[in-house]
Amino acid sequence: MKKFICFIILGIMLFSAFPISAREETVDITLPANVSFEVVDVNEDTDADSVNLSYINARLRMSNYLAISIKANTANFARPANAGESIAASSVSWTTSNAQGGSGVNGTLSSVIYNLVYESTSYPEDGSLLINFKLAAPGSGIRAGEHTLICTWKIESLTP
């Protein structure tokens, strides 16, 4: 029996950790809204389809760079009908590839801290990144159905 596991990524963004003086900092960004894992075998890791993160028209203060991070809103996926075992948010990891305008950072999802996914070069104009999410084998105690996890992206303009 196939199990469908999904995590939804909220578009809540926190931009700029610093007060903006003479001009506003802006960026047009496209982030993945959700990622789905179709689990065929609960004893095997499952890859999601690759997703793209991209931005254009970045207007940051001179020498600033863009940092994009992600955090799970809860420690575990919500279970279907509150039955079966919970899947830990930390069961989700990612690798990055094809970074343009900066560097991708591989990592593991956490509900405690934001983990960096992408860091641009100084004063970027545009960039992109391919993200490959993976769900570690959830094990046999998992009930079939949709397991949901909500995450939040953090977008910051930082000074080196």
Domains (range + CATH), the chain: 3-158 (2.60.40)
pLDDT, tens digit (0-9, with 9 covering 90-100), for 67-107: 999 999 999 988 888 778 889 999 999 999 999 999 999 99
Q: Is the pLDDT of residue 132 over 70?
A: yes
**Cα radius of gyration rounded to whole Å, the chain:** 17
SS3 letters across the chain? CCEEEEEEEECCCCCCCCCCCCCCCEEEEECCCEEEEEECCCCCCEECCCEEEEEEEEECCCCCEEEEEEEECCCECECHHHCCCCCEHHHEEEEEEEEECEEECCEECCCCCCEEEEEECCCCCCEEEEEEEEECCCCCCCCCCEEEEEEEEEEEEECC
Specify the pLDDT at position 10.
Answer: 47
Q: Is the pLDDT of residue 118 over 90?
A: yes
Q: How confident is the model at residue 158 (pLDDT cuts 50, 70, 90)?
A: very high
Phi, psi of 137 (to 5 degrees): -50, 120
How far apart CA 6 and CA 116 sit, in angstroms, is 21
How far apart CA 57 and CA 25 sit, in angstroms, is 10
Specify the pLDDT at position 11.
Answer: 43
Q: What is the mean pLDDT of residues 50-62?
A: 91
Q: What is the pTM of this model?
A: 0.84
